[in-house]
Structure formats: structure tokens, C-alpha cells
Structure 1
Amino acid sequence: MSILKSMQDTLTYRGRLQINVTSEITARPVPDATVQISYTGVPDSTLEEVTTDTSGQSETLELAAPPLEYSLNPQIEEQPYSEYTLDITAPGYEPMSIAGAEILPDVTAIQNVQLRPLADNEAENVFVIPAHTLYAEYPPKIPEDEIKPMNETGEIVLSRVVVPEYIVVHDGSPRDTTAQNYYVRYKDYIKNVASSEIYATWTENTIRANVLAIMSFTLNRVYTEWYRNQGYDFTITSSTAFDHKWIPERNIFDTISVIVDELFANYLSRPNVRQPILTQYCDGRRVQCPNWMTQWGSQALGEQGYSAIDILRYYYGDDMYINIAPEISGIPSSWPGYTLSQGSSGDKVRQMQEQLNVIAGAYPAIPTVTVDGIYGPGTAAAVTKFQSVFGLPQTGTVDYRTWYKISEIYVGVSRIAELT
């Protein structure tokens, strides 16, 4: 207990953790899953044991974390987050262990867990989350041209920028044939990378600038089919020397998640260039990179009150601007262009009500609504509960973020239902 007492004495701040458990096969929530939480490295130190509700969610827990200053000051060498191990079990599912879940002070860590149905061998699925890229040593990015030649091979694959529903992530360097490929939802990928590459305690505009850079880089890989044109069967890698850091089963953070939900169709452009710009960056403490954004530098500018686009132009030049993709894959219908609220009516309201009812079939905490195309108090209440379950501001209105989150969950739940 001396190690445990020492950790409790040094971790004087508090962060929050919320766990969401779903089935890998059906995408539906897993109720009555048990989650035991302990300090990583002190496995017998169970601190909390929680059970998921009908939405597959735990209560939000408060856990010890290091001082906030550690993640805000590049001169401080101390680890700015605490690490916890989560052991998840549920009847009918293979157990899972995740070691190294990161808790930062004053923000909520979100641990999404997908459990596999029990097979003949009850093997535990074990994941160990490596250290954050700003804390540990990782290979620096190999410089590339920010605009790719598209006419040398005669292969222009896409005529316009499309936000993909899924991308294929190669969990290693490109030529590592032993590395596994993962199919990952685009938004989930961006949230994972941003949580791995920057600290969620940074200013909102700093997070926005870094998310935009990560998305633009990723969409450049998608648009140019960079790896597929070299004979590979994936979209992007998890190697920091080639792309961004992406980590299987790592937790994300609420401050990053809401910004990605808002910005996910955006990317960075230069005048008269069709493709998203390959916006490269480095940490700015261990590695310097002239003409690229530095992550620590972007935080300093954010603290000085710079907007996201001003941070990006500070590093990439004044001719950088934010663009929006004209097409988003995998959604039944695009956002109507205005917020739906009480008093709204029409086909878009009806479509949203139909989708909410399908979701309510999987998430019983969300009430069903009358599908009449009229946005009344019942629809507002169902939307508010949906927003509560899926980590959105609980406004009771359907803005851009809420519309696309409803679409995303609806597609996940209904697609699996069709397959079965």
C-alpha cells in the first residue's frame, strides 16, 4: 500500500472518467458490465467498481490526476496525466483489460469499449496504451511536400473532397507487414489521434487548430490515395514518422470530442489547390520544424487569444483558409442547414424522428417519439436525452453536431440490424 499511498499523495488534482460499453457485433449498448478501476502498475489497488446502465454507460467518476500546470507548461518534465487500468467483464462477452488509460485534470476522459461475444476460448483481450506523444520519445515526422502531384501517373482518384465514413489504419510503419489493419470511423480516428497528439487541457482554439491540421493531413491521404497508389491496402498509418499517432482502444477526451463533432467536415486549403493541404507539425520542444505548426507553440498562441485560423496562419502562412467538404459518406441525409427546434416541421424533422426511434430501440433510456414531422416537447425531450447519452451539449435542439451524431448512431444500429 506504500506505492498506492505515495500516488494518492502526489496526485492532488481531479480528472473525470466515463466508460461506454457496446457490443462489437451489434453496436448496441452492453448493460450490467462490471468495470474495475485500479492504478496502472498497482493491479491489486481497486479504487472503484462500477456497473453500466441500460445505455452501456458508467457513472462519471472522479479520479486523481497530476497538477494542471504539468500539461500547460512545456518546461515541466513531469508526466501530466495519471494512468489507470480498467478491467471490464460482462455476461456473454470476452473480458477486456485496458492498461494506461490517461486521466488529465479538469477534463473528462471517455473510454469507449467494444466487447466481443464469448467464444469457445475465454481469452482476455489485453490492451496497453503507450505514453502520450508529447511525453515520450517518438520518431519525428519525415518531411513531405504539402501538396501532392496528382497528374504524374494520370490517376486522379477523386474529383472532389469526400469525408469518408471509415478509414483503414495500419498500426505500424508502412512496410511493416506484421502490423494489423483496423477499420475505424473517420470521426473516431480524428478524436483518437488528437487525444494522442495534444493535451485536452489546452485552450479551445488551440485544440481547434490542431484538429483542423490533423483532419486536413488525413483527408490529403484519403484524397490522393497516397498509400493505395503505392500498392498498400490501407489509408494511413499509426507511425509518427509517416503520419499521426493512433492507438487501439485508447481513451479520448470530452473537450476534443465536441470540437471534432463540430468540425469533422472541414479541412485546410490554399487558393487554386483542390486537394486538402498535408499540414505537417511537430511538438516544438523536443523537435523543431520551421514552416510547420508546433504543438506547444500553438498552445502558447491560444493562451494569447489567437483564433484557430490565426494560429494556423501564423505557422502555414496567410493564404491558408478553412474549407468544407461537399460530401460526407455514410449518412442518410445531410443537415438541413439550420437548427431544428420546437416549432420546426417538415421532412427533415420526420426523418430525424424516425432515426431517433430506431436508436431508442437499442438505447431504452431515450424515449420514443411520435413520427409526425412536428418538433414538439416530446421530440425535444428525446433529443435532450440523446445528447446526454452521447456527450453533446443538452440543448434539446438539433444543430449540426447533433444531426450528424444521430445519423452516425442510427447507421451503426440499423446497419447491424439489417445484417442480422
Structure 2
Amino acid sequence: MYIPPLKAAQTEETDEGKLRLYVVSALRNQPIEDATVTISYSGEPNSVIEEVKTDASGMIPELTLPAPPLEYSMAPSEYQPYSEYTIRISRDGFENLDISGAEILPESTAVQRAVMNPSTPENSFEDIVIPAHTLYGEYPPKIPEEEIKPMNTSGEIVLSRVVVPEYVVVHDGVPTNPSAKDYYVRYRDYIKNVASSEIYATWPKDTIRANVLAIMSFTLNRVYTEWYRNKGYDFTITSSTAFDHKWIHGRNVFESISEVVDELFDNYLSRPGVRQPILTQYCDGERVQCPNWMTQWGSKYLGDQGYSAIEILRNFYGDNMYINAAEEISGIPASWPGQPLDIGSSGSKVRQIQEQLNAISKSYPALPSVNADGIYGEATQNAVREFQRIFGLPATGVVDYPTWYEIQDIYVGVTRIAELV
């Protein structure tokens, strides 16, 4: 059953949001310098309001753009709570890229990663169209499932422990559509994409945390039970809201959501005596009702009242819901040392970070190289701060938990021989 479409409405743009964009090549995630980026309102692609160039790190200067009033995203409304922009990117040697429908929310920073393919005689243009946000547009509601999958069927449970995967394979359609494309997506990028598609970045931080935990637990249940592979499919999860969550190829994510995912990405939800992550289903709570599930708007209102993430989750799923941590993070060269690295730190973990930053600097020339001596001095601090600036992390110069894993991810991306695309 499909949700009835909302009344279309013109929104008055009285607030502002920010756009941070960086452009990389599909070949090993190399930054693309000197690409021309034009920004226009969606529906008026020839009415350019900004034109900028990318720097050596593939970045453009952060832009401030008009957005609708904040209150449109704070309660269900017939008015669209975000502005839509078309981003057009061109660079010699690459296919021209258009991203239509990029979302700008008020008082929020949108982060757009644009991936350009080398041009070929057959292809010179790629067009990505971002559909409406799930809280505003028309999407099928979730088909209910049991939150805990049976474990007594031979072969159904393949993994012996909960592992955060390096990649998930997203089938961009319903499971039975063989023509839908499959995408290899980094796990953290997948979670950021889904959360940016299903909740608003303007919501309270603990509301965002609660929803991100529910999305991650659901996803890790699909990974742990190999749900689709045991049905004969070659993918991890789908982009259909009827079966899983809405993932949108090429869409922007939001900084406030990205920060929460980086903080929590090895977590999931569990119940006592249950090994698998809980399949935490939810609905919007306004157009669709779902007893015993979390509702997105309900979680927002509890966040407004000062509820913590676990209090929000237990309000919907019961008091025996707990936050757990995965036993392994796949594809990571080295695990978190257990405490931040800062001025005065020393040892093998510092040396490893220095060596990884030097490897990354070969692809990102704005990142200074450092002496890999295992001593965290000012030069290392400055290199870490520049890394954080380039990759959208708080520029503290301290290797905290999110920075550690971002360095690991980028290091793997720029040094592996054959990047999955």
C-alpha cells in the first residue's frame, strides 16, 4: 500500500543552510582539482546562483544557500522543509555530472560527495536525480517482520559473531527486481545516507542517535543473518522502504547525522539472551501507524523533551533493549587504541597514524607529510588537523575515535589496488 501523496506547496525561503562539496574520481577516490561546480535551483538549471572551482583536495569553499523556515522540519507539514538545488560539475577528462534535488535544510550543513567517472567515447554525461525525502514524499510503508530471526534452521545463521562490514551491497529496488542495480557502499556511508533520507538533520541530537542506532541494528541484522543471500540473492540489503530502508544513490548527507554515525558506528541494539542484532523497525507515526515500533516523529518529540537515545528507544521497544558493540570492524588495518592520540602521545599507534597520513598525502597534496617517528608533536597535530578539515571532522588536531576510523577508511581507499565501485 502506498502513502497518499502530500499536497505540493511552494515554500518561502527565509532561512539558510550550508553546502560542503568535494569531488573525487571513481578511480581510487582521488580528489579532482580545478573542476567547475555550478549551483542552481532545481527546476531552473540554467539560472546559476554560484560558480566555483575545486581545490587540490577536490573541495569547494563552503557555500551558504537559502532554505525554508526551520519550523517546517520540526513538525509534519504540507510545506517542503528543504530547498532543492542542482549541482553541475565538469572537468576535462571526466564525464559531466549533474546532481538534481540536493537537499539544503535550514541551520544545517549538507555534505555532498560527487564521484566523477573518466569520460569514454560512449559516455560523456551522468545525471543523478535525488527523489523526495521519505518524511515528505510518497513511499510504501515497511512490511512487518519478526524482530528476531529464528536460529534453528540449518544454515540460516552464517556468522558466529556480530561484525561491522566494510561494505554492504545495496540492491537499488525491491528484492525481486532483477534489473535494479547493485551498489557496493561503505557501511558508514550507507548508514549516513539512509539516516539523511529518513530523518531531518535539524532534529535533537539524541533523536538522531536513537534513529541511527535503529538503522544500524536493522542493517547488522541483515548482515548477521545473511537474510537475502539465504534467499538466493547476491546483495546485503535493498533500497526499498517496504523491505528495508531508503538509500538513495548519489544523495548528500548532513553533518549532524554524519557526526552521530561516526560516534556510534560499531553499535547495535540487543535484547538479553539474543545474539543477533535486533531488527528494529519503525514508521513515521503520522501517515503510518506501527504499534510496538519506534515512530520517527514520536522520537523527535521525545528528543524535544530531553530524553536520551536509549530512553527514546526503550519508550518504543521496551525496557529490555540495550546498546551493544560489535566484536569486529571489518576492513580496518588497525583497531582503535582505546584513547585519543594527542601532543605527548608516542609509540607504535602514533607511528602507524603518521605512516597512514603520509600515504594519504600522496593523493591529497594539501595534507602535509610528517616524520614517522612515533612521537605526536606539533607537525603531526597540524597534519591531523588538516586531515580533519579536508574530511569534514572537527579540526581539533586530536586523533579521537571518529578521526582514527576515518584515517583507516581513507588510507584503505587510496592504497588498495582495486577499489570496489
Question: How far does residue 418 in structure 1 lie from its aligned partner after superposition?
Answer: 9.5
For residues 302-358 of structure 1, give each alpha carbon's deviation from its aligned partner in whole angstroms, at most 9, with x where no partner exists.
010000000000000000010000100001010000111100000000001000000
In structure 1, which of residues 33, 38, 46 is the aligned counterpart of residue 40 of structure 2? 38
Q: Return the offset for 1:163.
A: 0.3
Q: CA–CA distance in 2 between the matches of 1:136 and 1:367?
A: 45
Number of aligned positions between the proteins: 412
1:182 is aligned to: 183
1:1-40 Cα shifts (integer Å, max 9, x gaps): xxxxx98x92111011111100101211001011111100
| Structure 2 residue corresponding to 1:18, chosen from 20, 28, 31 | 20
Distance 2:214 2:418 in 1: 36
Q: Distance in 2 between matches of 1:58 and 1:255?
A: 20
Cα offset, 1:178, TM superposition: 1.1
- Aligned counterpart, 1:309: 310
How much has 1:121 moved relative to structure 2?
Answer: 2.6
Q: Is the 8 A contact 1:346 1:373 kept in 2?
A: yes
* CA–CA separation in structure 2 for the residues paired with 1:390 and 1:416: 22
Partner of 1:381: 382
CA distance in 1, matches of 2:132, 2:270: 32
1:37/1:321 CA distance change after superposition, 3 Å: same
The aligned amino acid for 2:205 is E
CA contact (8 A) 1:88 1:97 kept: yes
Q: Secondary structure at the match of 2:69?
A: coil
2:29 aligns to what SS in structure 1? coil
Q: Return the alpha-carbon distance in structure 2 between the equivalents of residues 204 and 150 of structure 1.
A: 35
Question: 1:155, CA displacement in angstroms?
Answer: 3.7
**Partners in 2 of 1:307 and 1:360 — Cα distance?**
39
1:217, 1:277 within 8 Å by CA — same for their partners in 2?
yes
Structure 1 length normalisation: TM-score? 0.96
Question: What is the letter of the counterpart of residue 194 of structure 1?
Answer: A
Question: Gaps spanning 5+ residues in structure 2: where?
Answer: 1-8
Partner Cα separation in structure 1 for residue 386 and residue 417 of structure 2: 23
**1:141-160 alignment to 2 at 5 Å?**
141-160=142-161
Contact 2:28 2:414 (C-alpha < 8 Å) held by counterparts: yes
Q: Deviation per CA, 1:183-209, whole angstroms, max 9, x where unpaired?
A: 000000000000000001001000000
Q: SS in structure 1 opposite 2:289?
A: coil
Structure 1 window deviating more from structure 2 (114-123 vs 400-409): it is: 114-123
Match in the other structure for 1:167: 168
Report how far residue 362 of structure 1 moved.
Answer: 0.8
Alignment of 1:144-293 (within 5 A): 144-293=145-294
Query: Is the contact between residue 82 and residue 104 of structure 1 (CA under 8 Å) also seen in structure 2?
Result: yes
Aligned to 1:399: 400
Counterpart of 1:111 in structure 2 is: 112
Tell me if structure 2 keeps the 8 A contact 1:22–1:114. Answer: yes
Partner amino acid for 1:131? A
CA shift at 1:212, angstroms?
Answer: 0.3
Contact 1:27 1:416 survives alignment (8 Å): no
Q: Map 1:46-195 to 2 at 5 A.
A: 46-74=48-76, 76-195=77-196
Question: How has the CA–CA distance of structure 1 residues 418 and 103 changed in structure 2, closer, same or farther, with 3 Å as cutoff?
Answer: closer
Given that 2:27 and 2:419 are in contact with CA atoms closer than 8 Å, whether structure 1 keeps it comes out as no
Taking every aligned residue pair, what percent have the same amino acid on both sides?
A: 68
SS at match of 2:197: helix
Write the deviation string for residues 228-266 of structure 1: whole angstroms up to 9, x where unpaired: 000001000000000000000001000001111111100
CA–CA distance in structure 1, aligned partners of residues 181 and 56 of structure 2: 33
Per-residue CA deviation, residues 78-115 of structure 1 (Å, 9 max, x unaligned), is: 00001000111011111111110000000111110110
> Does the 8 Å CA contact 1:36/1:48 hold for their aligned counterparts?
yes
